[in-house]
């Protein structure tokens, strides 16, 4: 990176953190620290909700995922608008009416203490691990750019977020997220314009789309129903609905965002905004990834995008073999050139026969490229069994640092940091809220002063921050990070959602029945995941339905036992 | 269960706001489908 890029990066980060700390000064009680005094307008709520979900992983992994797998990941979000509507109709009015700090407080009012504690525990486990991953993602960026050990970059990233989250609580989180989202939107638009501008002068935006489309990368919609297919229309609508409902309805990192709304209307409008904007935003980010794919049809891509792993193999006994693979990869790329240009010409002339011929030729060459890459990653594994052979997270990053103009590189890197800071801060804040409100205030010190709870909130934020940093240090073994987070969520969200659905809609089921139903359902979900019974999105559906089913059966059994003969 | 006393600032009722959200989703699915087919 150039000096100007470093300046842009440094000033952006400094300005955002300073703004958040300044806006959150004077927080004196737990309501101000955990819920920003419930005074935020709808656009604040909406942007904060979006910033919490859009972590650095979104901007690192999603374009890389589109580069390798196309647009089909967008279907993952199709259940989100339905979830937003259901939350607006049911969850928000209830949470607001009961004036709760956390979603789990409601469960004690509806069921009992053990169900509240179990759900809070499942949340803490899942969110603690996920937040660790969101710290790890931008640490890769610094590690790659500075070429220093990821240990130090993880400590640096975690340290910044802990600093302003501990100081300013929810207010600092929300105010920084507002600016973060504005910078993120601007930066992404700039990146898309530059990618198109970097294409050869005779290749335009629609030509780039045709190239990506003919190579199978614009596969936004897959209507075939297949339980083993991770992303299709049905898994997105049904599985995605359950996952998003669970995430937004029962995950304190999100519930804490919309509880900051100044009224039911402001909180609802914030979620409506998310329901309208999230999918187009995600589509746009993925589209940038497919444009990067088209760009690399004209510019030679590296055989492997993770430079750290490349350096390792090049200093090993396998160097000669790896070098020969690089040469073979470059030759295949060169062979593609006439076909890519012919494809663009055929599309312009609307010559269907020629389009088919060039498409087949290109797909054949793409298969050869993929085979060479597989051979290369095989070498890496042979050299080091612990090698990270998934370079999806590095594709966009490598493109940004190698091809984007001075200044914009710094801004794009800043965006990755800001996104991570936003979601990490929400995660830490929600972990602290749940620990203090559902554990400390409820089980340890019931009648302490506001000052005591405020102090406890700050110390638990520090403790969770340290825990997440430790998790981040081990996150590198999880492959594609965005999928790792979603798989982790799917392991717990279905069960948690099931508990809330029973609470809202199955009025005759009591606390004991739902408690044991949740325990049993969680065991089933983990077994289903370990045995690879189905694609992970369906685990949300399975977990939720199992809790509902078991709870009904247990309640029926209990009623029969208690009824006089 | 919903608190319909608080009216939305636009579209007169919450029902209309929710229909807008779902309608926008359906329109996007159709558009993305056509997008997929057009560039395939």
* ipTM of the complex as predicted: 0.91
Total count of domains within chain A? 2
Q: Which is nearest to A9 in space by CA: A549, A411, A515, A484? A: A411
Nearest to B39 among A96, A209, A283 (CB): A209
Last residue of a domain, one of A330, A354, A387: A387
Asked if residue B2 is part of any domain, the answer here is: no
Cα–Cα distance between A81 and A87 in angstroms, integer? 10
B21 touches chain A (CB under 8 A): yes
Report for A469-478, A511-520, A525-534: range of highest mean pLDDT:
A511-520
pLDDT beyond 80 at A563: no
Q: What is the DSSP letter of A441?
A: I
Average pLDDT over every residue of A413-423 = 81
Q: Do A157 and A290 belong to one domain? A: yes
**A346 in reach of chain B (CB within 8 A):** no
**In Å, how far are A55, A240, A256 from A76, measured between CA atoms?**
16, 6, 23
State CA A392 to chain mean position distance: 14
Q: How many CB atoms are located within 10 Å of the residue A386 CB? A: 8
* Residue B9 touches partner A, C-beta closer than 8 Å: yes
Angle formed by the axes of helices A408-434 and A113-146, to 10°? 160
Same domain for A199 and A331, yes or no, is no
Query: Residue A261 in 3-state DSSP?
Result: strand
Name the domain boundary from A338, A355, A387.
A387
- Within-domain flag for B23: yes
pLDDT tens for A519-550 read 999 999 999 888 887 777 788 889 999 999 99
Of A85, A220, A283, nearest to B18 by CB-CB distance is: A85
Render pLDDT for A346-385 as a digit per residue (tens, 0 to 9): 999 989 899 999 999 999 999 999 999 999 999 999 998 8
To the nearest whole Å, the CA of A223 is away from the closest chain B CA by 9
Domain residues for the domain of A10 are 3-296+401-562
Answer yes or no: do A523 and A499 share one domain: yes
Q: Is residue A395 part of a domain?
A: no
Q: How far is CA A289 from CA A88, A180, B39, in A?
A: 33, 21, 16
Domain that holds residue B28: 12-40
> How far from the centroid of its chain's Cα atoms is residue A159's Cα?
21
Count how many domains chain B has: 1
Instruction: Determine contact: B4 vs chain A, CB below 8 A.
Output: no
Q: Which candidate from B8, B18, B25 shows the least CB-CB separation from A78?
A: B25
Distance in angstroms (rounded) separating the CA atoms of residues B40 and B32: 12
Whether B7 is covered by a domain: the verdict is: no
Instruction: Please tell me whether residues A269 and A416 are part of one structural domain.
Output: yes
In this structure, is residue B5 part of a structural domain?
Answer: no
Quick check: A78 contacting B, CB < 8 Å? Answer: yes
**B33–A223 CB contact, under 8 Å:** yes
Residue A250 near residue A496 (C-beta atoms within 8 A): yes
Does position A319 have pLDDT exceeding 80, yes or no? yes
Considering the domain architecture, whether residues A24 and A46 belong to the same structural domain is answered as: yes
Regarding whether A285 and A356 lie in a shared domain, the answer is: no
Last residue of a domain, one of A329, A352, A387: A387
Is the domain of A356 the same as that of A237? no
Whether the pLDDT of residue B2 is over 60: the answer is no
Among all residues of chain B, which has the CA nearest to that of A214?
B40
Contacts of B9 in chain A (CB under 8 A): 265, 269
Same domain, A11 and A75: yes
Q: Is the dihedral of CA A550, A553, A559, A560 positive or negative?
A: negative
Distance CA A161, CA A138 (A): 12
pTM of the model: 0.85
Residues of B in contact with A97 (CB under 8 A): 3
Q: What distance in Å separates the CA atoms of residue A465 and residue A424, rounded to the nearest whole number?
A: 9
| CATH for A208 | 1.20.1730.10
Write out the DSSP string of A142-185: HHHHHT--HHHHHHHHHHHHHHHHHHHHHHHHHHHHHHHHHHHH
pLDDT (0 to 100) of residue A422: 81
In a shared domain, residues A150 and A253: yes
Written as six digits, the tokens of A172 are 């600092």
Q: Which two tokens stand for residue A110?
A: 């509806």
Task: Give the best residue of A69, A221, A222, A504 to mutate against chain B (max B CB count within 10 A).
Answer: A221
In this structure, is residue A77 part of a structural domain? yes
Residue B37 forms part of a structural domain: yes
Answer yes or no: is B34 within a domain: yes
**Does B17 fall in a domain?**
yes
Residue B1 has pLDDT above 60, yes or no: no
């Amino acid at each position: 990176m150039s000096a100007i890029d470093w300046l842009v990066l440094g000033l952006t980060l400094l300005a955002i953190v300073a703004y958040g700390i300044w806006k959150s000064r004077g927080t004196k009680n737990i309501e101000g620290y955990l819920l920003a005094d419930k005074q935020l307008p709808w656009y604040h709520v909406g942007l904060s909700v979006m910033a919490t979900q859009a972590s650095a992983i979104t901007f690192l992994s999603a374009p890389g995922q589109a580069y390798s797998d196309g647009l089909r990941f967008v279907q993952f979000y199709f259940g989100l608008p339905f979830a937003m509507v259901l939350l607006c109709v049911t969850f928000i009015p209830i949470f607001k009416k009961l004036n709760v700090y956390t979603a789990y407080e409601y469960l004690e009012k509806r069921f009992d203490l053990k169900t509240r504690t179990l759900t809070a525990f499942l949340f803490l486990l899942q969110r603690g691990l996920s937040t660790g991953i969101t710290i790890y993602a931008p640490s890769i960026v610094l590690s790659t750019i500075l070429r220093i050990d990821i240990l130090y970059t993880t400590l640096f990233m975690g340290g910044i977020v802990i600093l302003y989250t501990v100081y300013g609580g929810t207010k600092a989180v929300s105010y920084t997220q507002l600016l973060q989202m504005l910078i993120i939107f601007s930066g992404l638009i700039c990146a898309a314009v530059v990618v198109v501008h970097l294409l050869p002068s005779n290749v335009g935006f629609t030509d780039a789309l045709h190239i990506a489309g003919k190579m199978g990368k614009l596969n936004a919609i897959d209507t075939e129903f297949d339980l083993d297919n991770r992303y299709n229309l049905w898994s997105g609508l049904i599985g995605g609905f359950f996952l998003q409902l669970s995430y937004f309805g029962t995950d304190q990192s999100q519930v804490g965002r919309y509880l900051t709304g100044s009224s039911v209307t402001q909180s609802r409008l914030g979620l409506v905004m998310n329901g309208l904007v999230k999918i187009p935003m995600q589509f746009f980010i993925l589209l940038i990834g497919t444009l990067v794919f088209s760009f690399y049809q004209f510019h030679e891509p590296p055989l492997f995008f993770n430079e750290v792993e490349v350096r390792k193999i090049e200093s090993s006994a396998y160097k000669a073999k790896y070098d020969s693979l690089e040469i073979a990869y470059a030759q295949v790329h060169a062979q593609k050139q006439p076909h890519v240009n012919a494809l663009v010409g055929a599309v312009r002339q609307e010559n269907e026969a020629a389009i088919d011929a060039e498409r087949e030729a290109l797909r054949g060459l793409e298969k050869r490229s993929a085979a060479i890459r597989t051979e290369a990653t095989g070498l890496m594994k042979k050299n080091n069994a612990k090698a990270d052979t998934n370079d999806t997270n590095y594709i966009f990053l490598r493109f940004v640092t190698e091809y984007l103009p001075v200044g914009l590189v710094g801004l794009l890197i800043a965006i990755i940091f800001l996104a991570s800071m936003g979601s990490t801060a929400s995660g830490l804040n929600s972990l602290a809220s749940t620990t203090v409100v559902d554990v400390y205030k409820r089980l340890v010190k019931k009648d302490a002063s506001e000052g005591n709870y405020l102090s406890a909130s700050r110390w638990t934020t520090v403790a969770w921050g340290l825990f997440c940093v430790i998790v981040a240090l081990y996150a590198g073994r999880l492959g594609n990070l965005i999928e790792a987070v979603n798989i982790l969520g799917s392991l717990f969200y279905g069960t948690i959602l099931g508990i809330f659905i029973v609470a809202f809609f199955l009025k005759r089921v009591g606390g004991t029945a739902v408690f044991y139903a949740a325990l049993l359902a969680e065991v089933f979900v983990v077994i289903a995941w370990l045995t690879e019974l189905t694609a992970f999105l369906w685990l949300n559906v399975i977990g939720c339905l199992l809790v509902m089913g078991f709870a009904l059966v247990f309640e029926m059994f209990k009623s029969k036992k208690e009824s006089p003969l | 269960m919903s608190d319909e006393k608080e009216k939305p600032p636009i579209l007169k009722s919450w029902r209309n706001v929710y229909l807008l959200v779902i309608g926008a989703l359906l329109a996007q699915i159709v558009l993305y489908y056509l997008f997929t087919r057009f560039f395939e």
